[in-house]
Amino acid sequence: MALYLFSDAHLGSNGPASEALKIEKLITLFELIKQDGDRVIILGDLFDFWFEYKHAIPKEHHQVLFVLSDLVRRDIKVDYISGNHDFWIDNYFSQQLGISVHQDDFDFEYQDYKLHCTHGDGLAKADRGYRFLKRVLRNRFNIWAYRKLPVDWAIPLAKFVAGSSRKHTSKRVYDFDEDYEQYARTKLESGYDIVAIGHLHRATMKHFDQGTYINTGDFIDAFSYARIDSDSIQLLYL
């Protein structure tokens, strides 16, 4: 059996043709998982925006939600680590789909590996401003206040902000690769065998004496993912 990890599809962020391709690639990945997988880790930003009201969720993602639910019904364990675009996940995934949700880091053991998994937003030294913003956006009062907006206003507004944030981030000149690699090295030195991160949209796998660092890249252009079993650690592409 195998563990699969992927991240950063940002569903809902592109035009119809691009979104259709993402869905097609995700379904292909899920079919591979059904063949030999027993666990899946989503390392954040599956959606470009996700927000739950008490009685409503974004309606456009029903196809992916259905396939995720099918994995759970097949006794494939699914874990979802929220990213910087989908951190407003509440209880829908856990209660309705049977998916375990983790707000930040997630540590666990799989076969003979000890893994540390995180989306990765805010890890870079230059992200000081974002780390402050993250605390503001995740504040319970602010979430409560945002829910008071009508659904048909709140969701388009949030999508606009999410798109603007993504465009701004893509233009930054900071090179975060070194910071992320150093973060992974520190975790590996503390006893982990594998450190898996998303967020950067650049697929990477590096082996060190202490273990392996993987960045799963993105499911927008690269369609990259990691597959781990007792014999190998792989970074693969669809």
Domain range summary for the chain, segments of one domain joined by +: 2-237
Q: Are 19 and 10 in contact (CB under 8 A)?
A: no
Residue 173 pLDDT: 44
**pLDDT tens, residue by residue, 190-212:** 999 999 999 999 999 999 999 99
pLDDT attached to residue 50: 84
Helix axes 62-73, 16-36, angle to 10 degrees: 0
Which pTM was predicted?
Answer: 0.88
Question: What is the per-residue DSSP string for 67-130?
Answer: HHHHHHHTT-EEEEE--SSSTB--SHIIIII--EEESS-EEEEETTEEEEEE--TT-STT-HHH
> What is the fold of 2-237?
Purple Acid Phosphatase; chain A, domain 2 (3.60.21)
Q: Which residues of the chain have pLDDT under 50?
A: 173
* Helix or strand run (H / E) with residue 168: helix 151-170
